[in-house]
C-alpha cells in the first residue's frame, strides 16, 4: 500500500518551524491527503503558506485525516530542541489507533516508546549503524560538492539546495541532493540527520554522505544545518562543513533578519562578515569560497525583494538571488 500522508503541524503550520511539512508539500514526490492543524483547519495549505504550492486541505482532527484516506501521520514540525510533547504524543496515539503508521524526525525516537512503536514507526532522524570519524580530506571522493550555509536556522537552506539540484538536472547535469536533516530525508528518501548523531561522528556522517553521493552523481548539493554563530547548533554546522569538504559555499540569509530567531540576544553579523567567517573556518580543513548568496525574500513584495537582492549584491560583490522565488538559474551559473 503506498503512503498517503497526513502532515501534523500542531497549530504551527504558518510558522517557519513547520518547515518539514512545507518542504514535503513543495518538494517531495509523495502523496499528501491532508495537513492536520486545528489552528488553520478549513483552509487549503497554499492559502496559509503560498510557498508550498500544493492544494491540500487542512483538517482539525485525526478522524478527518483518516476519512481522506491518510495511512501515515508524519510530524511536520521541527521544534526547537526536537522533543515530543505529551500533547503531540496523544495525537500520534490517536492516529495509531486509526490504523496509521507514524513518521517523524524528532530527537525523541518514536521507536523507543513501546506504545507508539506498536503502530509501526519511521524515525527519520535515527542514526545509521557503524558511524565513526571521517577518512578525511586526503580521501575525499573526487566529486564537486556545493554546500549551503546560513545566517540562522529555518531560513531556507534546504529549499535553496533542492532548487539548485532541480535546476542542474533540468539543464542536463548529473547531480544529486544530499539530505542532512529530517525534512530532506523525508523528501529524498535517503540521507543522515547529522544533528542526531553523536557529536564526535558528525563530520564522519557528512563524509559518509559524500561517499554515498559520489556513487549517485558527480555534482552534489549538500544541504546545510544551523549556523556558525548559533548558540545551540554551531557544532552541527561546523562538523557538517568539515565533513562534507565542499568546493563551493552558498550563503543563505533571510532578508532583513538581524538577530537569531531562537536567541534574539544574538545578532547576525553583516553579510560580508558572514562570508569571511565561513571561508575562514572552511579553510582550516579545506579551502572553499562563498560563490553566491541566496536571499530568502518571503514576506516582501516583488519590488522590495529585488531591492533587497540588489543591496546584498552591492554589499558582498557576489551574485545574489532568491532561487525559491525567482528561479535558481543565476545561482547555478555561479556554483556548478
Q: Provide the H-helix boundaries in 105-156.
A: 114-117
Q: CA of 222: how far to CAs of 33, 133, 208, 283, in Å? A: 29, 19, 12, 18
Q: What b-and-e string marks burial along 115-130, b requiring 16 or more CB atoms within 10 Å of the CB? A: ebeebebbbbbbbeee
The residues with which 104 forms a beta bridge, in sequence order, are 123
Q: Which residues make up the interface to a copy of itself (CB under 8 A)?
A: 80-83, 107, 132-134, 136-138, 194-204, 228-240, 242-243, 262-263, 265-266, 269, 277, 280-281, 284-285
The minimum distance between CB 119 and a copy of itself, in angstroms, equals: 24
Question: Torsions phi, psi of 318, nearest 5?
Answer: -115, 160
Whole-number Å distance between alpha carbons of 256 and 332? 24
14 vs 280 by CB, closer to a copy of itself: 280
* CB closer to a copy of itself out of 51 and 278: 278
**From the CB of 5, what's the least distance to a copy of itself, in Å?**
25
Angstrom distance (rounded) from CA 138 to CA 206: 15
* All three cell numbers of 146: 556545493
Least Å from the CB of residue 220 to a copy of itself: 18
Beta carbon of residue 288, minimum distance to a copy of itself (angstroms, whole number)? 13
The smaller minimum CB distance to a copy of itself, of residues 238 and 295, is found at: 238
Q: Which is nearer to a copy of itself, 41 or 281 (CB)?
A: 281
Closest CB to a copy of itself among 228 and 300? 228
As measured in angstroms, the least distance from the Cβ of 181 to a copy of itself is 10
Strands of the sheet containing 320-321, edge to edge, are: 175-178, 219-222, 144-150, 248-254, 289-296, 320-321
Give me the least distance between CB of 132 and a copy of itself, in Å please.
4
Q: Which is nearer to a copy of itself, 40 or 157 (CB)?
A: 157
Amino acid at each position: 500500500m503506498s503512503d498517503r500522508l497526513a502532515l501534523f503541524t500542531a497549530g504551527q503550520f504558518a510558522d517557519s518551524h513547520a518547515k518539514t511539512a512545507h518542504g514535503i508539500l513543495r518538494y517531495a514526490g509523495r502523496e499528501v491527503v491532508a495537513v492536520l492543524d486545528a489552528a488553520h483547519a478549513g483552509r487549503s495549505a497554499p492559502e496559509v503558506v503560498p510557498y508550498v504550492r500544493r492544494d491540500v486541505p487542512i483538517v482539525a482532527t485525526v478522524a478527518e485525516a483518516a476519512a481522506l484516506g491518510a495511512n501515515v501521520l508524519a510530524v511536520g514540525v521541527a521544534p526547537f530542541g526536537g522533543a515530543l510533547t505529551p500533547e503531540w504524543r496523544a495525537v500520534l496515539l490517536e492516529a495509531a489507533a486509526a490504523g496509521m503508521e507514524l513518521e517523524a524526525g524528532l530527537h525523541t525516537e518514536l521507536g523507543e516508546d513501546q506504545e507508539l512503536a506498536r503502530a509501526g514507526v519511521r524515525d527519520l532522524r535515527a542514526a545509521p549503524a557503524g558511524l565513526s570519524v571521517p577518512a578525511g580530506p586526503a580521501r575525499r571522493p573526487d566529486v564537486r560538492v556545493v554546500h549551503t550555509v546560513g545566517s540562522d536556522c529555518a531560513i531556507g537552506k534546504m529549499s535553496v539546495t533542492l532548487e539548485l539540484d532541480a535546476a542542474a538536472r533540468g539543464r542536463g547535469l548529473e547531480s544529486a541532493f544530499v539530505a542532512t536533516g529530517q525534512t530532506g530525508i523525508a523528501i529524498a528518501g535517503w540521507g543522515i540527520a547529522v544533528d542526531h548523531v553523536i557529536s564526535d561522528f558528525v563530520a564522519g556522517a557528512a563524509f559518509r554522505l559524500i561517499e554515498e553521493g559520489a556513487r549517485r552523481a558527480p555534482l552534489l548539493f549538500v544541504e546545510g544545518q544551523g549556523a556558525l554563530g548559533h548558540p545551540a547548533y554551531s557544532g552541527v554546522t561546523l562538523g557538517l562543513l568539515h565533513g562534507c569538504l565542499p568546493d563551493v559555499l552558498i550563503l543563505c540569509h533571510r532578508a532583513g533578519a538581524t538577530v537569531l530567531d531562537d536567541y534574539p540576544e544574538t545578532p547576525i553579523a553583516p553579510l560580508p562578515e558572514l562570508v569571511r567567517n565561513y571561508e575562514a573556518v572552511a579553510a582550516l580543513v579545506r579551502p572553499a569560497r562563498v560563490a553566491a548568496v541566496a536571499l530568502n525574500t518571503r514576506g516582501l513584495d516583488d519590488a522590495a525583494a529585488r531591492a533587497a537582492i540588489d543591496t546584498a549584491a552591492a554589499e558582498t560583490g557576489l551574485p545574489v538571488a532568491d532561487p525559491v522565488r525567482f528561479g535558481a538559474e543565476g545561482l547555478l551559473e555561479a556554483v556548478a
